[in-house]
Amino acid sequence: MKIGSILENQQYEKRISVTPDVIKKYISLGCQISLSKNYGLHLGIKDSEYADLGVKLIDDDNEILTSSDLILQMEMLSDEKSSLLRENQTVIGVLNPYENKENLENLAKKKINLFSLELLPRITRAQSMDILSSQANLAGYKAVIESFTNFEKAIPMMMTAAGTIPAAKVLVVGAGVAGLQAIATAKRMGAIVFATDVRMASKEQVESLGGKFLTVEGSENLETEGGYAKEASEDFKKKQEELLSETLKKIDIVICTALIPGKKAPIIIKDNMINNMQAGSVIYDLAAIQGGNTSLTVVNKIIDKNGVKIMGESNILNKLPVSASNLYAKNMYNFVQNLFDKENKKININLEDEIINKTLIK
């Protein structure tokens, strides 16, 4: 079976889907691998590293796409590249089915097999393939580092002969994978950490990391069967707003991570709350690309509102592309292995397998 992968648009995406670590594993399955020339050069991976492992490096991306049985990508192929795909080819990636619904349906009608990894079910067997967790983990860590870089005070408490510098107070909004990693990172760096989430199951996780969980009075457990957050009621939103309004007056740094799959990010931090924050505070909005958890968030810009900095990037993992690619490539290999019929050396789309059934675009 021929596996191919081409470079993403470097302007938006620096991660890659195939790293040298996984090449031998694919070859042991009986696969041949073709990659774009200079595929990993921007990450410090020379073509010779791939070539020495048996990879074929090709100048022409179109040749890779038309000759491969299985195409591994980070993001959805462009319309131009998608038009080259043929019946019975298989594409695996983060295809963003909510935004690319029409394009994906048209490709599926052409009998192209499309698997979108963000649709993986949250079951034990899928953990090694869970790209949302591996990437969100890094995003939560990096969001803390970026916000601390833009915060003009020390983070840990420091006692000196000249006086004591108090520890920075951090609030993490949303205690999913990214939020929990943000809590752990901020705590390790000496901050006092608070967190809030609509899912009550998060309380124990937050407290195990040394954070203080802020509970909305009369909280309802807003968690889907798949473990994701669902939209809160108006009553809950009002109570959460009152709690946050008071809390934010004393907070130095806010990390926003609240997302609802397939929907615009909920506005949690309102203008009046930001107006009451201390000058010099920083808000890092990981939900920026889906509209943001503040009404002032602008993607890839730092907004200064009365001395409060509000920031969020279209792809924070472009600042950690080596680590992110290494994890993504391993998630991808584990998914392919589950999809692969070793005896017949081909893809086996077994719809009785929950992992395959949930990720296949039908």
Average pLDDT rounded to a whole number, residues 307-334: 97
pLDDT in tens, 203-232: 999 999 999 999 876 555 555 555 555 566
Assigned token pair, 332: 């991808």
User: Would you list the DSSP string of 241-278?
Assistant: HHHHHHHHTT-SEEEE----TTSPPP--B-HHHHHTSP
Average pLDDT rounded to a whole number, residues 300-313: 97
pLDDT in tens, 63-94: 999 999 999 999 999 999 999 999 999 999 99
Domain interval for residue 269: 138-318
> Within a 10 A sphere around the Cβ of 218, how many other Cβ atoms?
8
- If asked whether residues 180 and 327 sit together in one domain, one would say no
303-305 and 308-311 strand pairing: antiparallel
d(CA 99, CA 211): 35
Asked, for residue 131, whether it belongs to a domain, the answer is no
pLDDT of residue 343: 81
Q: What pTM was estimated for this model as a whole?
A: 0.91
d(CA 241, CA 276): 13
Active-site residue list = 122, 127, 130, 133, 228
Asked, for residue 362, whether it belongs to a domain, the answer is no
Taking a C-beta distance cutoff of 8 angstroms, is the pair 45, 20 a contact?
yes
Residues β-bridged to residue 305? 308
**Those residues with Cβ within 8 angstroms of residue 199's Cβ, 6 or more apart along the chain or in another chain:** 175, 221, 222, 223, 229
User: Would you list the DSSP string of 76-96?
Assistant: PPPHHHHTT--TT-EEEEE--
- First and final CA of the chain: distance in angstroms? 23
Average pLDDT rounded to a whole number, residues 281-294: 96
d(CA 114, CA 101): 12
Assigned token pair, 294: 């503040």
- If asked whether residues 299 and 151 sit together in one domain, one would say yes
- If 0-12 CB within 10 Å is exposed, 13-18 middle and 19+ buried, where does residue 162 land? exposed
Q: Domain total for the chain?
A: 2
Q: Is the pLDDT score of 333 beyond 60?
A: yes
Percent of the chain predicted with pLDDT > 70: 96
Asked, for residue 359, whether it belongs to a domain, the answer is no
* Domain containing residue 244: CATH number: 3.40.50.720
DSSP state at residue 359: H
- If asked whether residues 309 and 329 sit together in one domain, one would say no
